[in-house]
Amino acid sequence: ALGGFPAPDYCMLVCPQFNSPLYCDSDHPQDPLPNFGQTPRSSNYVRKATVVPGLETPEKNYNHLTDALLDTPSTREMYLRRLKTIVDKYVATDYLRGRVEAYYAKISDSARRDDAKWDTGDIVEGYQQLLKEQLPQRKDQLLKTYAAGGPDALLPPSQSAAEQQAVEIKNAYIPLNGEYTPSIELRNPSADAAVDVSGWVLTNAQNVSEARAEPRSKPFCDDVAPKNAEYSCEDLQRWGSCELESVQKKGLCRKSCGNCRLEKGPVRFTFAPGTVIPSNSSLFVTDDVVKYRRSLRKYQMHQFVVGPVDGKLERKPLYLYNDRSDLMAEKALA
């Protein structure tokens, strides 16, 4: 209820077990067991869970994949940088409040009719809880408790212009006749700051708006077979029909037809939301991610690779623009 207090066995807005950005790792398990709270490390975990056979110890009662990702320095750094971007964009502003108010205005009349008929509860109370309790408390936690300089500092400072401008196009190999796999390396030289490149554009077009307006390939190349048809992707390839506009427009049989990337227009690649380059690390852009990774296996190499890069492969200067379309880096190609 509005103005109430969380029960001791469900501290969603109070204890760090649920509110930490590291939720679900081995230090913040989903369902702490009765022996939690008996050591200094777990003194804040107050939820008492029913012991499930096979999960009698906290060591078995957490998300092991989440724990592994957060225990790996590079992925932990990437996650916290991306989280800080989201906090700055949505939590530090009035964005979430605006969304709550917009949805309330849209559904409040229907919710009142539901309550009158089914006694589902007053929507006003939930609306007030969100605006007066949940959003302010979560905002305080992410902007103070877990922020840089806070009592439990986990999040990095907001991404600076200098950190963005430090990213460089270090190397670029653009084949003209398919003699090798394209590889464009973006390097983050910072010793201690990951860089969020979500929405950035790599292109050889000097006008970034032109590159953004061009169509993009899907990140994964697979075969979408024709629906309700008596022919297959293999048939389309055998008939030489892969270049038909209707086939390409619908994205049919991309893998069988070799249409995993768009070959027209300027070279271009837009980095997907959540793309972060760890500190002192590189990100490689190529035309075929699977093929590129396979080529690394025989050398036992491991690289962070994204793609496919679209456009006509030409040895023209490359430009890197951030999500606000500011020029961050450029590279002349021989």
d(CA 110, CA 5): 29
State the pTM of this model.
0.82
Residue 90 clears pLDDT 70, i.e. is over it: yes
CB 183 within 8 A of CB 171: yes
Query: Residue 67 is which amino acid?
Result: D
CATH number of this structure's domain 161-217+262-331: 2.60.40.1260
Residue 208's closest CA among 330, 124, 82? Answer: 330
| Residue at token pair 């590129």 | 292
d(CA 247, CA 71): 45
In sequence order, the β-bridge partners of residue 261 are none
Residue 130 clears pLDDT 60, i.e. is over it: yes
- Most confident listed range (2-16, 70-84, 129-143, 163-177): 70-84
For every residue of 90-159, DSSP letters joined together read IISSSHHHHHHHHHHHHHHHHHHHHHHHH----HHHHHHHIIIIIHHHHHHIIIIISSTTSTT--SPPPP
Helix (H) or strand (E) holding 233: helix 233-239
For the segment 231-242, what is each residue's pLDDT rounded down to a tens digit? 888 888 889 988
Over residues 8-28, mean pLDDT: 73
SS percent in the chain: helix, strand, coil, step 5 = 35, 10, 50
For every residue of 158-212, DSSP letters joined together read PPPHHHHHT-EEEEEE--SSSSS--EEEEEE--SS--EE-TT-EEES-S-HHHHH
Within the chain, all domains assigned CATH 2.60.40.1260 are found at 161-217+262-331
Range of weakest confidence among 4-18, 157-171, 287-301, 312-326: 4-18
Over residues 49-61, mean pLDDT: 51
Per-residue model confidence (pLDDT) at position 255:
81
d(CA 34, CA 316): 64
In the structure, what pLDDT confidence band is assigned to residue 187 with cuts at 50, 70 and 90?
very high
In sequence order, the β-bridge partners of residue 270 are 201
